[in-house]
Amino acid sequence: MLKLDKNKLQDFLKAIEEEYQIQLPVKKADQTDFCNFEDTLKPNKGLEIDLNTRLSVKSPKSYLFPRSESYLEFKKDNERLDFKLKELTGKANLIFGIRNCDQESFKILDKVFLQEPVDQLYKRRRNSTITVVARCLEQSETCFCQLFEIEPAGSETGADLYYYNYNDGLYFTAGSDQGELILSDYSQYFKSVEPEIEKKLNQEANQFNGKITADSDNPLMQNKPELLYDNKEAIFNSDIWQELANRCLECGICTYLCPTCHCYDIQDYSADQSGERYRCWDSCLFSNFTEMAHGDNPREETYQRLRQRFFHKLVYFPEEQEESLACVGCGRCLGSCPVNIDITEVLALAGGVIND
Amino acid sequence: MPVKEKMNKQIDKNNFEPLLVAFCCNWCSYAGADLAGTSRMGYPENIKIIRVPCSCRINPGFVLRAFQKGADGVLIAGCHPGDCHYMTGNYYTRRRFTVFKELLNYMGIEKERFKVDWISASEGKKFADTATEFTSKLKELGPDRKLRDSRWK
Amino acid sequence: MEIITNAMRQLAREGLENGLDIIIGWEDGRFEWQSKPAFITEINDIESLNFNNYSLKNLSGYLLKKELKDKKIGIFLKGCDYKAYKQLVNYNQVDPENIQIWGIACPGLKERDFHGNTSNAERCQRCQEPVPEELETIIGKKEVAIQNSPEDKYQDVKKLESLATDERFDYWKDQISDCIRCYACRNTCPLCECTTCMLAGGDSNSDDWIDSAKEFSQDFFFHSIRAFHQAGRCVDCGECEEVCPVDIPISKINNKIRHDIENLYEMPEVADDDSVMGPLLDFREDDPEPGSKGGKENA
């Protein structure tokens, strides 16, 4: 374990900025979200690095799966149509201060995009992204990662570096060869750590990991996420979906903020004699999501779309992907849905159906 | 040299040729533009006219779309209030674009880039003068980068 | 709040007993800083109705849902919600025949920001009509209803207007660049009721007006045209800004238009009946010219 003094953080980041494009949680007005490190250095922008807020507004999935990504340019040249694939340019990405829930979500996105046929756009971003995880030693009221057996303070989640945010320092351990390399290449910024502190932090981590599992009073942990998978028909046909649909606004907040949601649309932009094709996020809750070319819409009603979303995450996805559930318990849907529809509510309602 | 090629040769500000899109109502301002042409009154080639049946056909979306697709300035030219071919069309235009012009300015777009004017069928000179003035104003202001779609070529 | 809640439950009970199909009100969300819309059809569920400090949600938008089309509805509306309802009636979007309304004298509510800080809701600082005076039944004490001066309505707009044009652009560029085009603002707005929306990105309905790319000019188009479409209709209920996940100050755009219309055309915010045309559907021969600083403020 190596310590980086917090007052050296900026110097360290400036040093590694040569190699990497750094994104980290930044406080802007009333919110905290991932921003480019270089923006925090600009005066008058009012952006400050925020390593204390547990969760960012939007998940960092947008660094692997951007809000929109143009990948093909076409140009009309007399009667010819020329095509050119767009290259991914620039430095590798380093996402600093990501939490274990978001880190685990990358595993789920990998299952979607890196299995055959491989999504090249995702793959090239994934291969050029380094993650530095901030290990949680506290949770907020909206957290429930442990419901999905994710260890918030863990260091086995596939990231390149892990750190504890403790007192005046950040305490790093490597999670991969790439992480080791960074620690050694920039060793001048790091100090060694007394074994007592290392032991104390690891103990705290273990206790914290165990504490949430043992906490039987947490309302978010009451219903097992396998509930839908184990009782598909009963829950599919129940009227809990209409109950939720009554207030659902059919917007895209839950899908866009969710670290595991990955639906997209492909659109073309036409300039005068040229244009580009791009991929952009889509939401299964939009009313026209399943609208067909001939005008028919198999999921015209809100309750059908709501039901499909949760069934996808908790039934269809595990069916396809060796029982892996497509939720990481980050809690963004609990805080952001304007009408309080979230996956724990769905589990609670589903639990109610089974117990009846 | 075709106008488009001229546009693309924006080497530096001195050689900048603005693109001015003018929505002209068929009965008055388009006829006025015609008159300017037949009377051989010169006016800059920067202006591209889109003919509409009445100025109230114009949707504020058209204006923004023109800016997105390369326009540096947009002009809406209609009949004088009270003289609309369809009786009341331009009254609605006036209200609609008074509000919209204020909104655009509030959102940070220079007032001078969007203009609403009343040009009758006999006012060929007014059309030519408006086009000339607007073009030189736009040359001063420079190209519009605020509303242009970054993918537009 | 207790008074309001108890009265809500009482009225809901009576309503259901007297033949209403469904009651729309509020109930507690999961956390104490949440409140969500409640749809009650059984008398047994009445106890879940609760009006708390966070019951900001404007319920009038739900009257447009097609599932409620021929039902007899009872609904609770605060002052701001009622304005939106009246506007919907004027535009023939709801049929008042089947709707029983109970007004709420609103004491001003709270909101909680992303970091967990609670404060008085911003929209309540501008509110001019916390009590829907016209209604027969009003619950809650009128004396504690929030009171603001008329100048508060357009403070934010005036502040922005005082900046230079380029400064304003920088401000809006910064704010609008955060937009993820989730469409929550459009979906929650009670007065945004077009069945085919021209701003739905990249599909057949939108006729190619706008696409779904992360592109500033597209997001700008969305926000300014949506605000413009609400010109003369928006009642500043504040829902759009409330639901935005990235905190875009949408009401500042809508309020600019409201301010201009009030200043230029002397029309009521919400007409008393549908004989009065909306401000952009009407005209006077002496209307001010575009770009002239007209209106009663500059007379």
| Closest by CA position to A304, among listed A232, A226, A228, A237 | A237
Asked if C65 has any chain A CB less than 8 Å from its own CB, the reply is yes
Q: Which residue matches tokens 């709501």? A: A306
Question: What local confidence, expressed as pLDDT, does residue B50 receive?
Answer: 96
Asked if B2 has any chain A CB less than 8 Å from its own CB, the reply is no
Interface of A with C in 1-20 (CB under 8 A): none
Asked if B152 has any chain A CB less than 8 Å from its own CB, the reply is yes
Burial (0-12, 13-18, 19+ Cβ within 10 Å), C159: exposed
CB contact under 8 A, A265 and C245: no
Kind of pairing between the strands at A20-28 and A92-98: parallel
pLDDT tens over chain A, length 356 residues: 999 999 999 999 999 999 999 999 999 888 999 999 999 998 878 889 999 998 999 999 999 999 999 999 999 988 899 999 999 988 999 999 999 999 999 999 999 999 999 999 999 999 999 999 999 998 888 999 988 989 999 999 999 999 999 989 999 999 999 999 999 999 999 999 999 999 999 999 988 887 766 667 788 888 888 999 999 999 999 999 999 999 999 999 999 999 999 999 999 998 889 999 999 999 999 988 998 888 899 999 999 999 999 999 999 999 999 889 999 999 999 999 999 999 999 999 999 998 87
In chain B, which residues have their Cβ closer than 8 Å to the Cβ of C219? Answer: none
- Cβ of C187: how many Cβ atoms within 10 Å? 23
Interface contacts A/C by beta carbons within 8 Å? 113
CB contact under 8 A, B153 and A274: yes
DSSP for A257-275 reads: H-SS---EEEEEEE-SSEE
A336 contacts A253 by C-beta, under 8 angstroms: yes
Examine residue A117 and say whether the peptide bond preceding it is cis (omega within 30 degrees of 0).
yes
| Closest by CA position to C72, among listed C19, C133, C5, C136 | C19
Asked if B146 has any chain C CB less than 8 Å from its own CB, the reply is yes
| Closest by CA position to A260, among listed A96, A121, A35, A64 | A64
What are phi and psi for residue C235, nearest 5 degrees? -110, 15
Token pair, residue A185, equals 């290449």
Asked if A276 has any chain B CB less than 8 Å from its own CB, the reply is yes
Question: What local confidence, expressed as pLDDT, does residue A43 receive?
Answer: 85
In chain B, which residues have their Cβ closer than 8 Å to the Cβ of A269? Answer: 149, 151
Closest Cβ–Cβ partner in A246, A251, A345 for C184 = A251
**Ramachandran sector of residue C10 (left: φ over 0; alpha: ψ -120 to 50; beta: rest):** alpha
Token pair, residue C88, equals 């919907």
Mean pLDDT by 10 residues, chain C (299 residues): 92 94 94 94 94 94 89 94 93 91 93 91 90 91 82 90 95 95 95 87 69 94 96 93 95 95 87 82 90 74
Distance from CA of A178 to the nearest CA of C (A): 32
CB contact under 8 A, B68 and C265: no
**Length of chain C, please?**
299
Q: Which residue matches tokens 């409201």? A: C258
Question: What local confidence, expressed as pLDDT, does residue C273 receive?
Answer: 77
- For an interface test with C, which of B54, B87, B88, B103 has the most C Cβ atoms less than 10 Å from its Cβ? B103
Interface of C with A in 15-44 (CB under 8 A): 29-31, 34, 36-37, 39
Chain B: list its partners (3+ Cβ pairs within 8 Å): A, C
Kind of pairing between the strands at B20-25 and A48-49: unpaired
Interface contacts A/B by beta carbons within 8 Å? 15
In chain C, which residues have their Cβ closer than 8 Å to the Cβ of B107? Answer: 168-169, 172, 220, 224, 253
Distance from CA of C275 to the nearest CA of A (A): 31
Give the pLDDT band of residue B11 (cuts 50, 70, 90): very low
* Distance spanning both ends of chain C, measured CA to CA: 44
In chain A, which residues have their Cβ closer than 8 Å to the Cβ of C247? Answer: 29-31
Lowest mean pLDDT among A287-291, A305-309, B106-110, B139-143: A287-291
> Cα-atom radius of gyration of chain A, to the nearest Å?
22
Closest Cβ–Cβ partner in C181, C183, C246 for A31 = C246
Chain C: list its partners (3+ Cβ pairs within 8 Å): A, B
Asked if A30 has any chain C CB less than 8 Å from its own CB, the reply is yes
Question: What local confidence, expressed as pLDDT, does residue C296 receive?
Answer: 73
Q: What are the pLDDT digits (tens) for C32-57? A: 999 999 999 999 999 999 999 999 99
CB contact under 8 A, A276 and B151: yes
Q: How far apart (Å, rounded) are the C-alpha atoms in residues A113 and A123?
A: 7
Burial (0-12, 13-18, 19+ Cβ within 10 Å), A3: buried
Interface of A with C in 246-265 (CB under 8 A): 246-247, 249-253, 256-257, 265
Interface of A with C in 96-125 (CB under 8 A): none
pTM: predicted TM-score of the whole model, two decimal places: 0.94
Q: Which residue matches tokens 């990955």? A: A262
- Looking at the predicted structure, is the pLDDT value of residue B141 above 80? yes
